[in-house]
Amino acid sequence: MKKAISIFSGGLDCTVATSVFSKSHKIHAITFNYGQKAFKRELKASKEICKKMDWTHEVIDLPWLANISNSSLNTNEKIPELSAEDLDNLKISQESASSVWVPARNTVFTSIALSYAESIGASSIIVGWNGEEGATFPDNSKGYMKKFNELIKEGSPENIRIEAPLIDLDKEEIVKLGVEYDAPMELSYSCYKGKKKQCGICESCMRRKRAFKNLGIKDKSEYEN
């Protein structure tokens, strides 16, 4: 069976993306600790999902990234709270994305995943990058993925590719795909704030909640709001 590295936060997107490859690849999931407020909850979700799916799991600490970041994800700055209407307002969404931006996060994560892929003979790096978030996060975009794959082809002696099965999908389509592949979405944790129950009002929670609601599918996660 082929091997794959999954950049895995325990969130909805990476859970669905990794589940797509689960039957055809032996999964080695990596969860990064960069001082984010939600790390403990992300770790709990990641461990539970990996145990259920029989995926290998590892944590990598990046204290230096926490030290240089001024993101609201890992500082005392307040995480933005959005209304349902705000999600389709590009200006507000861009402001929210700017607040939670961690310097070169996906570039750092993917570079480390590439190193792991080379070391264990993995052919794929699975990511949860998707079309909906790619509109405001440049390191979630199809163009970014294309350039990174070109970089790997140029700079790695191994035949390794980034695989992003959600790259053209919005959240509703992601949830549909999760149902199709029987992804353990009920164990995933998407909230930026890191509370026991997901807050329900940060951008990540709002996009998740809207997708399940619009599809008429029950989200078994617990929310404060």
Q: How far apart are CA 158 and CA 118, in angstroms?
A: 7
Residue 125 lies in a domain: yes
Give the pLDDT of residue 122: 98
Which burial class, exposed, middle or buried, applies to 211 when counting CB atoms under 10 A from its CB (0-12, 13-18, 19+)? buried
Q: How far is CA 53 from CA 24, 100, 145, 197, in A?
A: 13, 30, 26, 23
Binding residues for Zn(2+): 191, 199, 202, 205
Provide the domain limits for residue 201.
2-215
Q: What is the pTM of this model?
A: 0.97
Question: What's the pLDDT band for 16 if we cut at 50, 70, 90?
Answer: very high
pLDDT in tens, 96-119: 999 999 999 999 999 999 999 999
CATH code for the domain of 111: 3.40.50.620
Question: What's the pLDDT band for 215 if we cut at 50, 70, 90?
Answer: very high
Residue 36 lies in a domain: yes
pLDDT in tens, 120-168: 999 999 999 999 999 999 999 999 999 999 999 999 999 999 999 999 9
Q: How far apart are CA 88 and CA 207, in angstroms?
A: 10
Binding residues for ATP: 8-18
Residue 145 lies in a domain: yes
Binding residues: 8-18, 191, 199, 202, 205
pLDDT in tens, 42-86: 999 999 999 999 999 999 999 999 999 999 999 999 999 999 999
Residue 119 lies in a domain: yes
Q: Which amino acid is it at 36?
A: Q
Residue 224 lies in a domain: no
Residue 30 lies in a domain: yes
Residue 204 lies in a domain: yes
Coil, strand or helix: which one is 202? strand
Question: What's the pLDDT band for 32 if we cut at 50, 70, 90?
Answer: very high
How many structural domains comprise the chain? 1
Residue 223 lies in a domain: no
Q: How far apart are CA 212 and CA 203, in angstroms?
A: 15
